[in-house]
Amino acid sequence: MPMFEDQDILSASEQADIQAKKGTSASHSNGTDHVQLPIPGDDGEGPIEVPASKSSISEASKYMHNLSVSPSMKERRSSRNSFGTSLPIPRSKRQSRLSSVHYPAEDGRPTRPGMPPIQPTRAILASQVQSIEVDKVKKAKNMAFAFDIDGVLVHGDRLIPEGQRALEILNGDNELGIKIPHIFLTNGSGKPEKARCEQLAKILHNPVNTEQFIQSHTPMSALAEYYNTVLVVGGEGYKCREVAEQYGFKDIVVPNDIVASDASIAPYRVFTPEERASSRPRDFTKVKIEAIMVFSDSRDYATDMQIIMDLLRSENGQLGTMAKDPVSQRIPIYFSQGDLLCPTEHWTPRMSQGAFRIGLEAMYKALTGADLERVVYGKPETATYKYADEVLTSWMDQLHGEEKLPENIYMIGDNPASDIIGGNMYGWNTCLVRTGVFQGGDNDENNPANFGVFPNVLEAVQTALKKELGEDFKTHFDETINPVLHGDKADAAAII
């Protein structure tokens, strides 16, 4: 787990130096040797280590009033300093292997990133209007939106209609015909970015580009530089193994691989022949799993919790062993996000990864007496917002040819405990909508949205546009406009 010891806080480059001097151990080709990857150095190429803004210590205690812990165990704590934990994020936008442009229409017409199919006449008209409205264009290029997805734009696979219209406006259906930069910042998970963008583009009837898209585990690709053999948990089938492969993880184990090797590890699991055939069994008593990555919601709490608990209590991630000291030999565990609840098609929000994590923390505490240290990515963690800055900056470059962060960023979310608190802490304008988790009064009492509460995403976008571009800003592009009547003769001449 990338973090610093209590007594000995070293810079990433100092740690890298030490690792370089130690060298790395032998290959693990037969799965029996432990490979220690060098800690990526701060050489301008590797990941950025962002200090954690949340404690890495388990929050389970406050949920455990009725569980008795032996007095001798009560004072036991991990040896690490929770405030020293860092969350690595990729230094810049993702590599081209993850990149792709997805459009709702599959008619093969030529397109540009993040924009609808090119309509020559409209494009010329828009550029004429923009050349006249210089001030407004400047302001439009100095603002951006970060959209939460579940509860703001969709409920599961169902479109929230105002979401489609809000995106159409930002994709150019406005008086300037200009694209207003926006990214998608979701705690959703469980699919490769390309597949999720394709699915979203169809639901939203708007283009969704992988270069403007961050899901909870996207910044965790940086962790591939720290660990060799990892357990990846959650998601449907083997999709999260695919995600981890695309992120560059080298040796990826999923719970099914372990069940296929030793079915007795999960006594309540019914393992189908198809699951056995598609898994990758090996002798896991000879493998050292270096870290656990919960990428997405567990589809089988009993099996996943049992395997995670076995690994956390093992000697350095080796199944078939039980560490005498549950802390010093414990392997790190990462969660891609911490939401307790998620709005879905169901009438009331469903439990999400945060609930799974708290369950694990409580079990771990009850079984060992120790608090479980863990790292949680996703909103509202600062690392995720910092990564959003990276993505937004490069998206600005793609849309407007200016690689800089706009000054006025609006986060639109439905969950005060993730979208809003995170945006507030990061200095963004925050808009809370009533189409998802939040169902309170005037504003959320604990984490009020600083720009306001809106019935839906369209109202939030329109209000933000008026604030930045003027009360009279029109959210429709007039195809019949005649720039001759609006600008000087030179502008008009260009289109005659």
Q: How far is the CB of 180 from Mg ion (least distance, A)?
A: 21
Q: 10 Å Cβ neighbour count for 42?
A: 17
Q: Which residues have CB under 8 Å from 315's CB, separation 6+?
A: 321, 322, 323, 329
Distance CA 121, CA 165 (A): 22
Q: Which residue in this structure is represented by tokens 């190429």?
A: 45
The binder of 187, among ligand G3P, Mg ion, none, by C-beta within 5 to 8 A per type, is ligand G3P
Q: How far is the CB of 96 from ligand G3P (least distance, A)?
A: 25
| Contacts with Mg ion, 432-471, as mask; x by CB under 5 A | ----x-----------------------------------
Q: Which of 150, 257, 371, 468 binds ligand G3P (CB under 6 A)?
A: 150
Check if the beta carbon of residue 221 is closer than 8 Å to that of residue 90.
yes
| Contacts with ligand G3P, 48-67, as mask; x by CB under 6 A | --------------------
Between 149 and 311, name the residue whose CB sits nearer to ligand G3P. Answer: 149
Q: Which of 40, 46, 47, 151 binds Mg ion (CB under 5 A)?
A: 151
Between 128 and 189, name the residue whose CB sits nearer to ligand G3P. Answer: 189
The answer to the question of residue 423 lying near Mg ion (CB under 5 A) is: no
Between 85 and 415, name the residue whose CB sits nearer to Mg ion. Answer: 415
Which one of the spans 119-127, 156-164, 184-192, 387-395 is the region binding ligand G3P (CB under 6 A)? 184-192
Q: Residue 159 pairs with which residues in a beta bridge?
A: 154
| H helix or E strand, kind and range, residue 80 | strand 80-89
Q: 10 Å Cβ neighbour count for 186?
A: 27
Q: How far is the CB of 420 from ligand G3P (least distance, A)?
A: 11
Cα dihedral value 371, 38, 31, 292, nearest 10: 30
| Contacts with Mg ion, 401-420, as mask; x by CB under 5 A | -------------xx-----
| Contacts with ligand G3P, 337-366, as mask; x by CB under 6 A | --x--x---------x--------------
DSSP state of 245: H
Check if the beta carbon of residue 374 is closer than 8 Å to that of residue 294.
no
- Touching ligand G3P, residues 196-225 (CB under 6 A): none
- Touching ligand G3P, residues 398-427 (CB under 6 A): 415
Alpha-helix residue ranges (DSSP H) falling in 341-488: 353-368, 382-400, 421-425, 457-469
Distance CA 14, CA 187 (A): 33
Q: Which of 46, 47, 181, 188 binds ligand G3P (CB under 6 A)?
A: 188
Between 305 and 437, name the residue whose CB sits nearer to Mg ion. Answer: 437
The answer to the question of residue 148 lying near Mg ion (CB under 5 A) is: yes
Least Cα distance to 235 among 254, 212, 210 occurs for 254
Between 148 and 361, name the residue whose CB sits nearer to Mg ion. Answer: 148
The answer to the question of residue 444 lying near ligand G3P (CB under 6 A) is: no
Q: How far is the CB of 154 from Mg ion (least distance, A)?
A: 9
- Touching ligand G3P, residues 308-327 (CB under 6 A): none
Q: Residue 231 pairs with which residues in a beta bridge?
A: 253, 292
Q: How far is the CB of 401 from ligand G3P (least distance, A)?
A: 29
Check if the beta carbon of residue 178 is closer than 8 Å to that of residue 465.
no
The answer to the question of residue 430 lying near ligand G3P (CB under 6 A) is: no
Q: Which of 78, 142, 186, 384 binds ligand G3P (CB under 6 A)?
A: 186
The answer to the question of residue 187 lying near ligand G3P (CB under 6 A) is: yes
The binder of 423, among ligand G3P, Mg ion, none, by C-beta within 5 to 8 A per type, is none
Which one of the spans 4-12, 14-22, 431-439, 466-474 is the region binding Mg ion (CB under 5 A)? 431-439
76 burial via Cβ count (<10 Å: 0-12, 13-18, 19+): middle
- Phi, psi (rounded to 5 degrees) for 261: -85, -30
Between 147 and 227, name the residue whose CB sits nearer to ligand G3P. Answer: 147
Between 133 and 444, name the residue whose CB sits nearer to Mg ion. Answer: 444
DSSP state of 61: G
Between 15 and 187, name the residue whose CB sits nearer to ligand G3P. Answer: 187
Sign, CA torsion 437/442/445/451: positive
Q: Which residues have CB under 8 Å from 68's CB, separation 6+?
A: none
User: Going by DSSP bridges, is the β-strand pair 80-89/48-51 parallel, antiparallel, or unpaired?
Assistant: antiparallel
The answer to the question of residue 150 lying near Mg ion (CB under 5 A) is: yes
Between 61 and 450, name the residue whose CB sits nearer to Mg ion. Answer: 450
Three-state secondary structure of 302-363: HHHHHHHHHHHCCECCECCCCCCCCCCCCCCEEECCCCCEECCCCCCCEECHHHHHHHHHHH
The binder of 49, among Mg ion, ligand G3P, none, by C-beta within 5 to 8 A per type, is none
Between 145 and 238, name the residue whose CB sits nearer to Mg ion. Answer: 145
| H helix or E strand, kind and range, residue 85 | strand 80-89
Q: How far is the CB of 133 from ligand G3P (least distance, A)?
A: 34
The answer to the question of residue 151 lying near ligand G3P (CB under 6 A) is: yes
The answer to the question of residue 257 lying near ligand G3P (CB under 6 A) is: no
- The two tokens of residue 204 are 């939203």
User: Going by DSSP bridges, is the β-strand pair 143-147/182-185 parallel, antiparallel, or unpaired?
Assistant: parallel
Check if the beta carbon of residue 411 is closer than 8 Å to that of residue 419.
yes
- The two tokens of residue 291 are 């870290």
| Contacting positions for ligand G3P (CB under 6 A) | 148-151, 186-188, 339, 342, 352, 415
| Contacting positions for Mg ion (CB under 5 A) | 148, 150-151, 414-415, 436
